[in-house]
Structure 1
Amino acid sequence: MSEISSTRSTGPGASPGSRADSADLRGALDGDDAAFTRLVAPLRPELHAYCYQLLGSPHDADDAVQDALLRAWRGLAGFEGRGSLRSWLYTVATRTCLDIVKGRGRRALPVDLGPASDRVVLDNRPSTEVGWLSPYPDGDLGTGPASPHARYERREAVELAFVAALQHLPGNQRAVLLLVDVLGFAAAEIADLLGTSVASVNSALARARRLVAEKAPAASQQRTLRLLGDDRIRKIAAGYADALERHDTEALIALLTEDVTWSMPPLPHWYSGLPSVAEFARTVPMGLCPSWRTRLVSANGQPAVAGYVGADATAPHVAWAITVLTLRGDRIAGLTSFLDATHFPSFGLPNMLP
């Protein structure tokens, strides 16, 4: 993604809790776990986003951050106040995530696994053989003391296309790309972190940049969204939600680009192009799902709609899918519907609407 590779977030030493002479750091070094908790609290959101970028799953990121902070607490004596605490925590988090990556394959979206289906597949069953990419609840990324530009970059770095592109890289290349292009670490710092040479870091970075440039769009969603403005973005998302609730296929189609795609992990089949997507919309969400209720949310720095399905308009509606919308201009160019009720609590949503 060109914007990410051409700009950097706050540097490795610029963040609350990064100064080695802080009172909480002294207390933590003396064994005060409450001081350590206060010390790392401002860094949790960015560490969590970083682990998600590496692992492709908020739940895996939860585990990785918890494990990394436990490792950091147990090994805090090894830090001894030298340099930036933030840099050291990213070192621990990186090693934790790379250990997890070694234990399983990459996460994917249906578009990564095969060509689009040319007809509606009604027996489209979930694939349990694939580790699927999951949506990211991005509410914490807009908070905290970071500058507006830094918050913009944080949201850009969790966009669905970018994180999906990262999953095509070996773990060490993912880490190098993120640490250099997103977080602003120097090659020498990363070489020390990974136990390798600066030349190896630069080589891994070049390979990672080439592959991500092939897989991710040149224009980020943040750039598109900034040009549209909040009111227009909300209108598009609300239009999709309203069309779904009213079972108005034509209204939904009017929101889509000609080359729109629609995928539904963990279902392996996906659709590409307005005719195929329109046929799918008429047949499945508008045809087979009796009643919809929706809530507007944000996921991966993008507009999203949480959908609930009920037997009829008066019946309870159960959590069904978080659909992340990818926009181009003022149209929807991609719909990724994550069909798993377990995603809903992380967005602060109930599993059922009465």
Structure 2
Amino acid sequence: MSESPSSSPTARHAQLLALAGELRPELHRYCARVMGSVIEGEDVVQDTFARALAALDELPEDTPLRAWLFRIAHNRALDLLRSRAIRAAEPIEAAHEVADPESPDPVEALMRREAVETAVSRFAELPTVQRSVVILKDVLDQSLEEIAATLDLTVNAVKAHLARGRARLKAINAQAPARPAPRPPSPAVARYVALFNRRDWDGLRALLADDVRLIQSTYPLRAGAADVSMFFGIYSRSAPVRVAPAWLEGREVIAVWEEPEAVKPSYLMWLEWTDGRISFIRDYKYVRYVIDDAELVLAPGAAPPGGPQPA
């Protein structure tokens, strides 16, 4: 879409919101890999657009919004990584030659395919700047110049990080990742799943804490049991879905299937509990791209609706 400047603040906000709808999946592919987590990646995406809307009125009108959003997302991700004390410690050394993006060769194509097929969590094993450069170049196919502008680097520095990052990623992928063992669900999640699959909405509402909060992408935050109970009302009026307990990135989540014959879930839910009651619901129904790269592990005995059912 066009990013021509507009003199109207309202038009500028509308332009940003329209671009957000188009850019969210691509921005998430970047943020998830930088963070090494599809859940934390979506948190960065959400925060990126909130910060962008807050700063938009002060932005020069000729600023390209797409590149600006990537810079906000990149900087926010780095802030969060620093808070976890994850830092890139390697200095830049002389770069190997990087193939001209205008004249790709089979080796270049192979490196890009390797990056695209690398599990999200494994990117966390790269130093941060190498990680960002490899993702932007090999996963999102940005030019060296675009990457340099986003990361505030020279093109030669981008080439150096790209060469080193590709070599390291190849070594990482040569080592088989440890597959997490299936873990049984907690009693609380097992109860939630059983009630949901029975469509016992009153039973689910009884699990809500008085101060429960619900987040659904860009929809307004719902807070309090009376308001959040409407969440189950929506499901009560829609076609039945099936849910199952699962684990993702060390978190206990709930996989949701809308299609009876599907093997892969349609999206996820994530709950937090306080004193045996639900204090927080994060519903990813409206940001389904989050599950695309998710390394999901179903709990023992759980099976998708279209697969073999547990005995």
TM-score (norm 2): 0.47
TM-score (norm 1): 0.42
